Each structure stands twice: as C-alpha cells, then as structure tokens.
C-alpha cells in the first residue's frame, strides 16, 4: 500500500474467530465493535518470529481488548491456523489468505531470492485501522521485539484523542 492510500482496502477472508470457530471475515465485521482494528500480517504459523509476535499479542490481549480488535493474516490454511492457535493459546482472529490477495492489497508482499529462485513472501506488517476505515498507523518490516508495545502505545494515544 503506498503512502498516499489513506483508507484500508476491503476484504473477505475465511478464518478462525477469537473462539477458534471457522467463519468468514469482512473488514466491516472486524470494525463492527466501533473500535480500531489492529491488522497484522505475518509470514508463517509456528515459526520463531511469528510465534514470538503472536504470543506478545496474546500476552497483551487483556489490555488491547479494551480499546481494539486484533486479527492476524497469513497465507497459511485454516487447519494450520487451528494448530497454531491451540498450541500457543491465541485468543484473537487468524485469517487465511492463501492467494495472498489481501496481503498484496496492503503491500505486505515482497520478492526475495532463495537459492537463485525468486519467491514471494509476506512482509511482517501491522496496520491500525480506525472504525471509519482510515489507516491510523502502520509499521512495515516489523521487528518483533517491542512491536506490540509500540502498537499498544499508539492505541492509547488514539484513545486519548
């Protein structure tokens, strides 16, 4: 997503809700509580960086839940998300984007070279989306350590007006 795009692209994806039930998610559904949405993109379930990031969100959900909704998106399957959620006790939505359409719409897709082959991968990125679908804050090429604290700090600033 280029810097001049101010509104979050709409989407419809299948995923697991915070209770682990399979459902269809639309951007409007995630914003229905009239709270900001923390939408984060991550490369792959059950890999070290993704576990650390998801666990950090999980460990801060009591505080985050008061002011925002969290959803993670990766190209992994619902089955993979289910194992990931259960293994780490995750209590927020995990959405599946196997075609990477939403990942691409948010410019969270990047080309890299692995063993002389060009491959596409998900760039760890986070967006705070206001209830009126505006991008209120964004982070690209996220470094996991301390990131959730930064997101929480930004949410608190937004809450104070």
Share of the chain above pLDDT 70, in %: 96
Q: Is residue 76 one of the residues assigned to a domain?
A: yes
Residue 152 belongs to what domain range?
A: 12-160
Number of domains making up the chain: 1
Catalytic residue among 16, 37, 50, 128: 50
Pick 119 or 16 by higher pLDDT: 16
Per-residue pLDDT at 8: 96
Please report the pLDDT score of residue 2 as a whole number.
41
Residue 136 lies in a domain: yes
Which carries the bigger pLDDT value, residue 84 or residue 109? 84
Q: Which two tokens stand for residue 1?
A: 């997503």
| Torsion angle (degrees, nearest 10) of CA 104, 12, 10, 35 | -120
In a domain? residue 6 = no
Residue 50 a catalytic site member: yes
Tens-place pLDDT, residues 47-64:
999 999 999 999 999 999
If you average pLDDT over every residue of the chain, what do you get? 93
d(CA 47, CA 64): 24
Query: Pairing state of beta strands 109-114 and 93-96?
Result: unpaired
CATH of the domain at 138: 3.40.30.10
pTM for the full predicted model: 0.92
Let me know if residue 3 belongs to a domain: no
Q: Does 5 reside within a domain?
A: no
């Amino acid at each position: 997503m280029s810097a001049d795009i101010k509104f979050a692209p709409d989407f419809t994806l299948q995923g697991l809700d915070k209770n682990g039930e399979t459902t269809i998610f639309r951007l409007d559904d995630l914003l229905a509580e009239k709270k900001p949405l923390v939408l984060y993109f991550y490369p792959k379930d059950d890999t070290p960086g993704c576990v650390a990031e998801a666990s950090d969100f999980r460990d801060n959900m009591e505080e985050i839940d008061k002011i925002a909704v969290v959803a993670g998106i990766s190209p992994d399957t619902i089955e993979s998300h289910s194992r990931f959620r259960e293994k780490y006790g995750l209590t927020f939505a995990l959405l599946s984007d196997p075609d990477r359409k939403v990942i691409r719409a948010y410019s969270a897709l990047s080309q890299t070279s692995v063993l002389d082959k060009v491959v596409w991968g998900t760039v760890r990125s986070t967006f705070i989306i206001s209830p009126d679908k505006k991008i209120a804050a964004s982070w690209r090429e996220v470094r996991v350590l301390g990131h959730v604290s930064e997101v929480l700090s930004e949410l608190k600033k937004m809450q104070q007006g």
